[in-house]
Amino acid sequence: MTEARAPSPTAGSRPLPPITALCLASMALLIAGGIDLAAHLPSVPPLGPPVGLTVAAGIVLVVAAGALSRVADFAWGRFFLVARHALLAYAVIAGLLVFVFVRDGTRGSPLVLLIATLVIFALDVPMVLAFTVARYHSDDQP
């Protein structure tokens, strides 16, 4: 039986940017835009508020990625290992949802907006997962 290793004392105590909070804020903006879009279906929805919320979510995601890119002493190997696998899974999920929207007859601007929302979503979740794993990974762990 393998023994669980405790994280190193510095793994969780060093100051890091609020990546998880930023990604969750981005997802909250996406969900709010999706709810607004769905509230007007099946008629043609007004796209102003959902587009604004999606753009804001994208900006927050870019800010999170920029803040994370400035972290010097970080388990980048572990981050990219987890991010690669999670991104593959969420790309499949997003692709299936795009297929459902197209098959359901969604066309034009609402489809483009939904695809943009799914792209941001498919980047948000892997970033949160990878950051959380790498944050508590120390160099002495395999």
Question: How much is the mean pLDDT over the chain?
Answer: 88
**What are the pLDDT digits (tens) for 11-69?**
556 789 999 999 999 999 999 998 998 888 778 889 999 999 999 999 999 999 999 99
Q: Residue ranges of the domains in the chain?
A: 19-135
Q: How far apart are CA 55 and CA 29, in angstroms?
A: 9
**Residue 10 confidence (pLDDT) above 50:** no
The amino acid present at 55, given as its one-letter code, is V
Helix (H, G, I), strand (E, B) or coil at 40: coil
Model confidence at 128: pLDDT above 70: yes
